[in-house]
Amino acid sequence: MRTILTSGQIRQADEYTITHEPIASVDLMERAARAFVDEFAKRYPQKKLTIALYCGTGNNGGDGLAIARLLYERGYQEVKVTVAHFGSRSTNDFDENLRRLRSRPIPLKEISSAVEVGTEDSDIIIDALLGTGLNKPISGDFELLVKKLNDIRKPVVSVDIPTGFFADEEIPENAACIKSELTITFQQPKINFLLPESFPAVKEWVAVDIGLDQQFIQQLGSPYQYIQAEDVKAMLKKRERFSNKGSYGHALIVAGQPETMGAALLCSAACVHAGAGLTTAYIPQSGLFALNSYMPEIMAIVRDPKSFTQISWSKFSGLAIGPGLGQDDEALTLLKLVTAHFQKPMVVDADALNVLAKYKELWRFLPKGSILTPHMKEFDRLFGEHKNWRQRVETARQWAQERELFIVLKNTYTIIATPEGKVYFNSTGNPAMATGGMGDVLTGVISALLSQNYTPAEACLAGVYVHGLAGDELALPDQRHVVLPHKVAEHVPVVLTKLMA
Ligand SMILES: NC(=O)C1=CN([C@@H]2O[C@H](COP(=O)(O)OP(=O)(O)OC[C@H]3O[C@@H](n4cnc5c(N)ncnc54)[C@H](OP(=O)(O)O)[C@@H]3O)[C@@H](O)[C@H]2O)[C@H](O)CC1
Ligand SMILES: [K+]
């Protein structure tokens, strides 16, 4: 896991590293600047580029000055620097880097108001005005300068965070900030980079390591974590040589209506592909033909009232309810039936979530450790309207803890809130996966993992990661505009094999 700290905690980690590594703070700044320049040079290798750096007088500005010097040393000859003295006092490391810069033949202009900025015709702007020290929305000269830089419509690369952007708190409405093409951020993505309201301020980000003390970072106990491949690899269990289908559990998928059988099929198929030993779909009679012709590996129980009393619930090790289920009385009956008889953690998705939103008294029947997988609209139906995603993250965290449930809030970086109060952000997935049916596949994958005896936490974390990675492998190499959910389901075994290798 990569721990995600708040700006305040990053400052603590910074100070701890300076004292205990030990390293002089100006050398830590140099290390950060070097890491920035390494990444910048990879992305923009043409040495002839004209580069304009805009620096504040805090440590973000100090980084900018060091970056200008290092770029020059790397052979970028057309570098120029503007320092904005807009009020705040300068830091010692800024002062030291200004001295170092002055000994190089790099054009330097110092301004005390935004109107002094002339026409800007450089190929690239590097934004080092303000970083994580931001403590209020920018106004006055900062706002004017930011507006000017945005209006030039040249690519802006931000140092650590775009100037004016709130890294981890709720972003105040209409707060002005730099719209950067690329943000090269130090050590870890900032929480708000992973939420939709960061776009277009943060079109793309990349985190570069600056060697902050890892033990100290862990000991801060941040609830926010970013899922990495190694985490999922450590969770996945290889199949044993003398195992059989009974070793991998039996999943029941309660899904589908005559008009929405596709959802039931996709979910059940994904469950089979993700390795459930047996998968049974609990579907209406009208869907039977479609099911049998779509995928013979899936078994069925026909959903007539008689069946309600005939299911032997204990033989199932995993269960999902919701995809394509509709929201009529039958859906309500089924949710009541399932929660009354199935005592293990289950996946609750789609229409079952909408039923849950309407009949709040059903909450208390959900077995502890169950997994809710809402998209944004379902989430707001369940928990009320939210003004932004930062609020949703906190609501998910509180509810997951209070109700002892897992909430998987689907998004570009899917958010998983756990009963322990942790919030994980998924690092796989891409916009080509934004198409109907993709959520049904995710539900199938998670329920397959549950049925194979993975803990609910493992099923959520590995499930979202594997699902996203399958989508990435299909979409990204060919830059595909869209990937189809059934293809993602089919690709899950390939991804699982690679992760287990
Ligand atoms: N650990 C790391 O990741 C490292 C980070 N480095 C870099 O340091 C910055 C953070 O530097 P800091 O000096 O703390 O802050 P800034 O440079 O972002 O801001 C400077 C001062 O600006 C003032 N401020 C805050 N908000 C506003 C605003 N809206 N308008 C105007 N001015 C504002 C504030 O001072 P006040 O006295 O006014 O409160 C800030 O202190 C980090 O982003 C990295 O780039 C290190 O180089 C390496 C380690
Ligand atoms: K910046």
For 171-229, how does the pLDDT look when each residue is reduced to its tens digit (9 = 90+)? 998 999 999 999 999 999 999 999 999 999 999 999 999 999 999 999 999 999 999 99
Rounded-to-integer distance, Cα 195 and Cα 200, Å: 11
Compute how many other C-beta atoms are within 10 angstroms of the C-beta atom of residue 42: 9
Domain-wise residue ranges, the chain: 21-222, 247-500
Q: What is the pLDDT of residue 54?
A: 98
> Given a cut of 90, is residue 81 above it in pLDDT?
yes
3-state secondary structure of 475: helix
Q: Is 14 close to ligand 1, i.e. is its CB under 6 Å away? A: yes
- Nearest-CA residue for atom 35 of ligand 1: 88
Residue 252's pLDDT is what?
98
Regarding the domain delimited by 247-500, which CATH topology (the fold level of the hierarchy) does it fall under?
UDP-N-acetylmuramoyl-L-alanine:D-glutamate ligase (3.40.1190)
Does residue 211 have a known ligand-binding role? no
Report the length, in residues, of the chain. 501
- Non-local (6+) Cβ contacts of 280 within 8 A are 250, 251, 252, 253, 298, 299, 300, 301, 316
Asked if this assembly's ipTM is beyond 0.90, the reply is: yes
Which atom of ligand 1 has the smallest separation from the CA of 128? 45
pLDDT tens, position by position, 361-396: 999 999 999 999 999 999 999 999 999 999 999 999
pLDDT in tens, 440-468: 999 999 999 999 999 999 999 999 999 99
Q: How confident is the model at residue 132 (pLDDT cuts 50, 70, 90)?
A: very high
Q: What would the pLDDT profile of 61-74 be if each residue is shown by its tens digit? A: 999 999 999 999 99
Q: What is the CATH number of domain 21-222?
A: 3.40.50.10260
Arithmetic mean of pLDDT, 108-116: 97
Asked if residue 32 lies in contact with residue 10, where contact means CB atoms within 8 angstroms, the answer is no
CB of 9 closer than 6 angstroms to any ligand 1 atom: no
At residue 377, the pLDDT reads 98
The amino acid at residue 320 is A
Average pLDDT over residues 332-360: 97
Q: What pLDDT band is residue 423 in, cutting at 50, 70 and 90?
A: very high
Mean pLDDT rounded to a whole number for the chain: 97
Say yes or no: CB of residue 414 within 6 Å of ligand 1.
Answer: no
Confidence of residue 88 (pLDDT cuts 50, 70, 90): confident
Ligand at minimal distance from the CA of 61 is 1
Q: Measured between alpha carbons, how far apart are the two ends of the chain, in Å?
A: 20
What is the distance in A from the centroid of ligand 2 to the CA of 21?
26
Rounded to whole angstroms, the Cα distance separating 422 from 281 reads 33
d(CA 306, CA 145): 71
Cβ–Cβ < 8 Å for 38, 208: yes
Q: Residue 130: CB within 6 Å of ligand 1?
A: yes
Say yes or no: CB of residue 29 within 6 Å of ligand 1: yes
- Point out the ligand 1 atom lying closest to the alpha carbon of residue 17: 1
